Copies of this chain bind each other. A is one copy, B any other.
Amino acid sequence: MTIQIEDMIIIDALELSNWDRDFLLLLKKGGVTCVHACCGLWENARETLTKLGTWHRFFAEHEDLVMPVHKGEDILKAKASGKIGVVLGAQNTSALEDELALVSVFNDLGVKIMQLTYNNQNLIGSSCYEEQDTGLSRYGKLVVEEMNRVGMVVDLSHVGNRTSLDAIAASSRPVAITHANPDWIYPSKRNKSKELLGELRDNGGVLGVCAYPHLINGPETTLEEFCDMIVRTVDFMGIEHVGIGTDLTLNMSDEFLKWMRMGRWTHKIDYGAGSKDNPSWPEWQSWFKTPADFPNIAMGLANKGMTQEEVSAVMGGNWLRFFTEGFKAEKELEKCVSLI
């Protein structure tokens, strides 16, 4: 079965790679239109400004190849101009500290996605690695409400099960899991339960299935197995609720790995999704070494019998729809309703 991928809008709902010009060229080669890029893990408000300043320089220095995405139409502009659109997001809420008003401030700075917790319990809730998940805190509920108001997408990828269910219940708008897999297909604390993915679907959310080796069956996982997982996930969630979030970590240093997993919260080694036997950056699958390999996934889905429209929805169409709505301020949504 052949499919046409040139016209597709391919969106990767998370990459944590070393963004340089070569990386942009790999994305372009892979036909990628838009990437959600991580601009913060453990960084507080001040440190996040420095990270954003670095992104501003990157955008200015490579403006022939890349542009920031603040709203859905920016993704269409990126596609039309052959540039890579970048949605900045934080994989934690450390940047907000204990200050509710900073949701709106960072939203203005183009941080359009925030994961409520990274691998730890924080002011808002618990992660998938905590022994006890006490659910969404009082502050957490207010943060979700404020994110709903300004149009910043709630991401639950590393968040604990109970906090995630609470967040979906608290949110007046659909939420995202940008990078995780069903845990009944690939068991892992980081992957998600049927209960949670059912609630995500019923509330209009999207799941980005994840190619991170530790969240599937390691680098030996075949493309067919990966695409089989996608087909089964689509069977459970419906074609409109599944996208891709590779979690690609290309050319990142061991120093960064240590920062990512241990931040400043521990002096003992913490392996995150890794393990004592597999402590370093994982080796990636032969069919997805760089973003230039994106067409492999599209072809793999077609080989599983998906139609052009179905492949298109999973490769980016669903994220395009979700981000276009999700990045709007609540006020803009009301405007649309009042026009009816």
Copies in the complex: 2
Residues 69-126 of A contacting B (Cβ, < 8 Å) = 99, 101-102, 104-105, 108-110
* Residues of chain B within 8 A of A268, CB atoms compared: none
CA distance A104 to B55 in the complex (A): 10
Chain B nearest Cβ from A19, distance in angstroms: 15
- Identify whether the interface residues of A are mostly helix, strand, loop, or mixed: helix
Q: Check: A264 CB closer than 8 A to any chain B CB.
A: no
**Is A108 within 8 A of B105, CB to CB?**
no
Docked CA distance A45–B105 (Å): 13
- List, in ascending order, chain B residues with CB within 8 A of A104's CB: 53, 56-57, 60
Nearest-Cβ distance from residue A61 to partner chain B, whole angstroms: 12
Contact of A99 among B45, B50, B101, B105 (CB under 8 A): B50
Selected from B101, B102, B109, the residue in CB contact (under 8 A) with A105 is B109
With beta carbons under 8 angstroms apart, the residue of B56, B101, B110 that contacts A101 is B56
- 9 extra A-B contacts, CB within 8 A, seeds A50-B99, A53-B104, A53-B105: A45-B46, A49-B99, A52-B105, A53-B99, A54-B101, A56-B105, A57-B104, A60-B104, A109-B109
- What are the 9 tightest A-B residue pairs by CB atom distance, in nearest-first order? A53-B101, A56-B104, A46-B46, A53-B105, A52-B105, A49-B105, A108-B109, A45-B49, A45-B46
- Enumerate 11 A-B pairs (CB-CB under 8 Å) in ascending A order: A45-B46, A49-B102, A50-B99, A52-B105, A53-B101, A53-B102, A54-B101, A56-B101, A57-B104, A105-B109, A108-B110
